Every structure is written in structure tokens, then in C-alpha cells.
Amino acid sequence: MRWLREGSEAVVEVYALDEDANTLTIERVDSARPTPEDARRAGRELAAIHARGAAAFGAPPEGWEGPNFIGRAQQECTPTARWAEFYVHQRVLPFVEKAERTHGATLDLVKRACEALEAEDEDAPLARIHGDLWAGNLLFSPSGPRFIDPAAHGGHPLTDIAMLELFSAPFVEEICAGYLEVGDLGPRWRERIPIHQLHPLAVHAYTHGPSYNAPLVEAARRCLEIVG
């Protein structure tokens, strides 16, 4: 969180870390009903965080070594030069393979989508991303939006936007509008959102079971329509 907070004070402040007790003390966040303007501000703050950049795709915060976690699931964080290689091999396929082994799923279409992404090899923008930005990790307080509980690393800016949309963040269109006031999501960004939903859906297909297989396969189908 401290790494992300370098880009925006909307990231909650860390007061103390006790590695022996495996506990983190952060500032208290009182809740408030979000407004469209709060959501726009969240978008602007997210763009500021992304703009701080990272050393490479998959690069963890300075001083962090090894994997990070999305929920309780461990995921690799090895710095990689090309986004598609990182995304396919460190984010999507590991969870697809775990879902297949754990639940007997057949997710061949998702693997085809991964092959298509690697073949496309998008010249992706490199951002400092939250990495687990579902609606529950974007809080709204009386003083504005607050970001918590990241899986921070170098990634694609659309990854955070796609997760907010997937898990129905309030006023998500206003979040996007605020982001675009100060940042850039690249050409055809809205069309490409399903690509970035492969990872969280694959995680859920593994951690929550077969009920997530259908939306994961649908995201893969849409990915193939986009990149061939």
C-alpha cells in the first residue's frame, strides 16, 4: 500500500507492520454513501497511481520478493518485458490449470484465448496497478475514495478498470470518466475489457468453483473475437 500511496493519498496509510504476528495496522476508514463526484475522483486518483509506473510487468513493489496474493491465492511476480507473456503465464493460465485439476473443469477455450493474446503481443502501457481492485477494495469515506488491500505490481492499467466493472463498483462509468480526465486507457479500451477479466474469473473458477466457468469461458470467447 505504501508503494501505491506514492501516487495518491487516497490509498490508506499503513501505520505498522508486524511480520511475526502477520498483522497490518492501517488508518480507520469511516463509510459514506458514494456519489458520482466521489467516483470521478476515484478515477482521477487511480490514474495518478498508475502514472507512477513500475520497473516491468509483474514487478512487485520495491523491497518485496517472491509472489503476492489475490485473496488467499498465491500468484507469481516475476518481472517480464512483455505484458501478454506476463499476463498469460503468471496470471491466467496458472489459475486455469488449478481450476482444471481441482474441479475437473475443461477450459480449452480460455487456453486458446491465451495463445491469441501471446500471438497479438500488445504493445501495452506499463502502470503501477492495484491488482485486486474489486468493488470491496474501493471504499468511500466522508473525505472521498479510499483504496485498500492491493496485490500491487507492474501491470496494464485496464486490469484495475476491468475488475471494477466485473464486480459492479458503484458509478463505474463515472470512475472511468474521471480516469480519462487525467489519464489514458489506450485505443479501443472499452472493447478490450473482457481480456482483463480473464484473470479474476480464472481465480474465482479455482477458488469458488465451477459456477465461474461459464463467465470465464464467455470472457475467453469475447477475447478471441477481439484479438482473433
Domains in the chain with CATH codes: 2-227 (3.90.1200.10)
Tell me the average pLDDT of the chain. Answer: 97
Write the pLDDT tens digit of every residue in 110-169: 999 999 999 999 999 999 999 999 999 999 999 999 999 999 999 999 999 999 999 999
Single-letter amino acid code for the residue at 84: A
Reference 1, options 49, 66, 67; nearest CA is 49
Write the pLDDT tens digit of every residue in 177-227: 999 999 999 989 999 999 999 999 999 999 999 999 999 999 999 999 999
Residue 24 pLDDT class (50, 70, 90 cuts) = confident
Within the chain, where are the H helices? 2-5, 36-51, 83-86, 93-103, 108-120, 157-166, 172-182, 193-207, 213-227
Write the pLDDT tens digit of every residue in 35-82: 999 999 999 999 999 999 999 999 999 989 899 999 999 999 999 999
pTM: 0.95
Return the pLDDT at 20.
79
Helix, strand, or coil (residue 80): strand
Inform me whether the pLDDT recorded for 102 exceeds 80.
yes
